[in-house]
Structure 1
Amino acid sequence: MNSLLTVNRNLIYTTCRTNENGYNPIPFVFGGSAMTTLNQRMNIRTIVWPIFIEHLIRMSLMTVDVFMLARYSDDAVAAVGLTGHFIFFLVLAYMIVSSGSAILIGQHLGADNNKQALDYAHSGLFLSLVAGIAVGALFFFGARHFIALYDLAPQVEIFANQYALIVGTLSIGMSISVVLSTTLRAYGFSRSPMLIQMAAGGVNVLGNYFALYPPFGLPQAGVPGVAVATVCSQLFSASLCFWIIKRHRIGLSFRRSLRSDKSKLKDILKLGLPNAGEGLSYNMAQMAIMFFVAQLGTAALAAVAIAQTLSRFMFVFAMSIGNGTQILSSYLVGQGRIQELKSKVNRYWMVGTTVSFAMAALIALFREPVAAFFSTDPDTQLLIGTLVLVSMLLEPGRAVNLIVIQGLKGSGDVVFPVKMGIACMWGVGVLFAYLLGIHWSFGVAGVWIGVAMDEWIRGLVMIVRWQREKWTRMKRIEKIPPAAVLAETLD
């Protein structure tokens, strides 16, 4: 009788958990595959391949954007490329919320504390709404003042202002989409954001087509139309994310998020602020570097914008492994599987650097036709080819950072990467980009070498940090006893 009671209590416990938290073992089909248990979803292949495909789709669509803009105007390419660094501030602001909540969700799921994980998901959603409104106001009132600092050509400045004003002010869709996608991945549903990206990307490309090459005699909307298409695709993505979360029965709701616990909001920000600090420092350093590039002329600015688009294909696999590493790191730390995690991350960054170098070498081999595909200007083509060659040095170092830093963050070690990032990005990257590119007149090649020096020095320091295992003492929760989990669930 006691054994039967135990089995029944465990059955009640399992049923309550899965119904409330969205990983019911009863198969639920979305996108062609049945749902599995959380432990089955938490492996690198299941997590990374959908993320990789999602990033590849995103990068492909961004490349299509650049190609369509290049056929419209080189000034438009330069403007949107420059503005991309301002728009990245949006992503950073929203990553403050999503990264902090993802770490806490993952660690609590790993510790079988599912109610707390859902509470952190609600708190993240609330903060995403606040961040979307605040950042939108900042762009509405301040974007034109920041862009004016770059002393751009008149038409480039007009395009940059148009794009930044629309995309920045109306970015709340991006805010919600980033947080909801991160929540889906934290629960192990990596395939759903991939499918969402495919659908939203289609909306964006179609909008760009109508804006730049309007059929049926419609007026040409130009860069403002491209910006509106971007906003619409983000709102569409956010709507799909929320619908899929409902279908997966995770239990997230906007109404409940408005009653978020203040202590949980603080917990997210404590992790999210320093976590995003590393990215913030990186983007500010990139803006400073773009300021140097702008002094070299519009051809250099356009070449860098195109080279950055190409570089995304070089590091997309490493970035995907990095995203998966953070998810696994938080989950395995919550379960106390430390040595297993250390061994896995060491393998991941070795694979990532190898793939990044191979991709850079492949694009470098075909650099001339690739450059001709993106630009008809001979000077711009030459500069693109030069930057692609230097990327063979740059990208393996970037891959180390993308993977190891994410492993550190998932474990709760978020302060050290920020300190090291600020010191190295500015003390090495920005400094040598100026010295080599401007002071010693090596041009955009010198700028790119300075960036590569930053990536490699910082990456080697992060490897040493990982090997010394200081991150093992920084997890934010303890694994709660099974009896306590059962009592909480039955309550």
Structure 2
Amino acid sequence: MDKQNTKNLTLFAITWPIFIELLLHMLMGNADTLMLSQYSDNAVAAVGVGNQILSVVIVMFGFVAQGAAVLIAQNIGAEKPKTAGQIALNALSMNLIFSLVLSIALFIWAEPILALMDLPHELMDEGLAYMQIVGGLIFVQALIMTTGAILRSYGYTKDTMVVTIIMNIINVIGNYFVIFGPFGFPILGVEGVAYSTAISRFIGFIALVILLVKRTRGDLNFANLFRYEKNHVKSLLKIGVPSAGEQLSYNASQMVITYFVAQLGTIAITTKVYTQNIMMFIFLFSVAIGQGTQILIGHMIGAGKIEDAYVRALKSLRISIFISLATAGVIYLVAKPFLGIFTDNGSIIEAGTVLLLMTVVLEPGRAFNLIMISSLRSAGDVKFPVYIGILVMWGISVTFAWFFGIFLGLGLIGIWIGFIADEWLRGVLMLRRWKQRNWVRMSFVDKTNS
């Protein structure tokens, strides 16, 4: 590994490829939604509910990738490349085994899971096809997450960006063939989109593995892929499980809220899917800055540069709040034509416009969470965000969503009130935690020589 590659990293240098990569990942999901919207609104709703379930599953095997990202970054900062390499191998093999089990479970129990989500009967066939194909092959996404996290922790953010570009091109071409049926190709609808997604992910994973071998040749010995070191596995679980716990709690709470929305009908489900797809472009900046900040702070903590790490997080937060507020405001101004890209249903466009106005208030609060939780995690303070997350997500977000959205009959507006209260309260608590500096003595750097 080129040591200069990590020592000379700046926030901009490490974040812009992450931003492009995340943008393309979101475009892949939006490409499915946009192209399916030309096929049917019901197909969009079915895939939207399916993806809500799959996002929870992804978090369940994401705990290994999260743990690996923090541990590798800290050990690279401490100039322990061999230790970082062995942690990377342990993470890959652990996620392979775990994600295969989850993939099999999703394929077998796809229908009862969708029924549990109260998916409308008219959406069940399409939802089932999507869940069994994409869910049954979800282990490939687990491996993509892990290899991508490893490469980014080493500083090779451009590599993962290029692979994502390739995956998007393949996915869009595949979608075009299965939805529009050019040259006599059969129109396969949701099932075809599911196959296109799965194939593009598999090709992306192969490319990432090739790059991982090339970039870390001196640090990774693949003969040790299934040779576990107790201390590394313990550290992976110690930091990864709580990190994923915060995300798992969030996604589980979102599933409950989606259940509430399903009671409002298919139009409400579709409005939520379209609006949240647009919102992804708003908080994309904060996600990218958060991931870049996590890598930099991990390197700083490993190198013992505590004050630099403290200042870096606060600078990143200010940048993220400004960008998210400006982006949300601009998107609200063009909300109707933006929503019109997805649908010509007037009810969906009107409701979505109101939700995007509320998003101008929501997104700066989300920026607090994305930046400060990433900073705390990279410093080793992984339990506090989970405790606060579980308390606030369920005590505020879910409770408010039910009270305002269902009980008071405000519908999606009530749901968004819950989102706003949740993000702002958690964000302020995370900032307070960072300023208290409890994280200073929580480093996970391996103390042995490497």
2:14 aligned residue: 47
1:303 aligned residue: 271
Q: Is the 8 A contact 2:366 2:427 kept in 1?
A: yes
Output the TM-score relative to the length of structure 2: 0.97
2:347 aligned residue: 379
Return 148-157 or 465-474, whichever deviates more: 148-157
Correspondent of 1:200 among 163, 167, 177: 167
1:109 aligned residue: 76
Q: Is the 8 A contact 2:167 2:201 kept in 1?
A: yes
Correspondent of 2:99 among 109, 114, 132: 132
Q: Is the 8 A contact 2:21 2:161 kept in 1?
A: yes
2:64 aligned residue: 97
Please give the per-residue CA displacement for 1:28-79, whole angstroms capped at 9, x wherever unaligned. xxxxxxxx53201x32111101101111122223222211011111011111
Q: Is the 8 A contact 2:74 2:300 kept in 1?
A: yes
Query: Radius of gyration: which is bigger?
Result: 1
Q: Work out the CA distance in 2 between the residues paired with 1:44 and 1:226.
A: 36
Equivalences for 1:366-405 in 2 at 5 Å? 366-405=334-373
Shift in Å, 1:479:
6.7
Q: Is the 8 A contact 2:82 2:220 kept in 1?
A: no
**1:321 and 2:282 are equivalent in the alignment:** no
Shift in Å, 1:261:
1.9
2:327 aligned residue: 359
Q: Work out the CA distance in 1 between the residues paired with 2:28 and 2:79.
A: 38
Output the TM-score relative to the length of structure 1: 0.89
Equivalences for 1:40-439 in 2 at 5 Å? 40=8, 42-250=9-217, 251-252=219-220, 254-439=222-407
Q: Work out the CA distance in 1 between the residues paired with 2:222 and 2:111.
A: 33
Please give the per-residue CA displacement for 1:211-254, whole angstroms capped at 9, x wherever unaligned. 11111112111111111111111111110001112222444355
Please give the per-residue CA displacement for 1:413-453, whole angstroms capped at 9, x wherever unaligned. 11000000000000000000111111111110110111110
Q: Which residue type is aligned with residue 88 of structure 1?
A: S
Q: Is the 8 A contact 1:131 1:175 kept in 2?
A: no
Q: Work out the CA distance in 2 between the residues paired with 1:418 and 1:249.
A: 32
Output the aligned Cα RMSD: 1.4
Q: Is the 8 A contact 2:325 2:363 kept in 1?
A: yes
Q: Is the 8 A contact 1:111 1:479 kept in 2?
A: no
Q: Work out the CA distance in 2 between the residues paired with 1:46 and 1:247.
A: 21
SS in 2 for 1:432: helix
Q: Work out the CA distance in 2 between the residues paired with 1:263 and 1:134.
A: 24
Please give the per-residue CA displacement for 1:338-391, whole angstroms capped at 9, x wherever unaligned. 111111110111111111111111111011111222111111111111111111
Gaps in structure 1 of 5+ consecutive residues: 1-21, 25-35
Gaps in structure 2 of 5+ consecutive residues: none
Shift in Å, 1:405:
0.1
Q: Work out the CA distance in 2 between the residues paired with 1:77 and 1:278.
A: 28
Q: Is the 8 A contact 1:112 1:479 kept in 2?
A: no
Shift in Å, 1:478:
6.4
**1:23 and 2:12 are equivalent in the alignment:** no
Q: Work out the CA distance in 1 between the residues paired with 2:278 and 2:310.
A: 31
1:106 to 1:62, Cα distance in 2 relative to 1, 3 A: same
Q: Which residue type is aligned with residue 190 of structure 1?
A: T
1:479 to 1:47, Cα distance in 2 relative to 1, 3 A: farther
Please give the per-residue CA displacement for 1:104-129, whole angstroms capped at 9, x wherever unaligned. 11111111111111110110111121
Q: Work out the CA distance in 1 between the residues paired with 2:224 and 2:39.
A: 46
Over the matched positions of the two proteins, sequence identity in percent amounts to 36
1:33 aligned residue: none
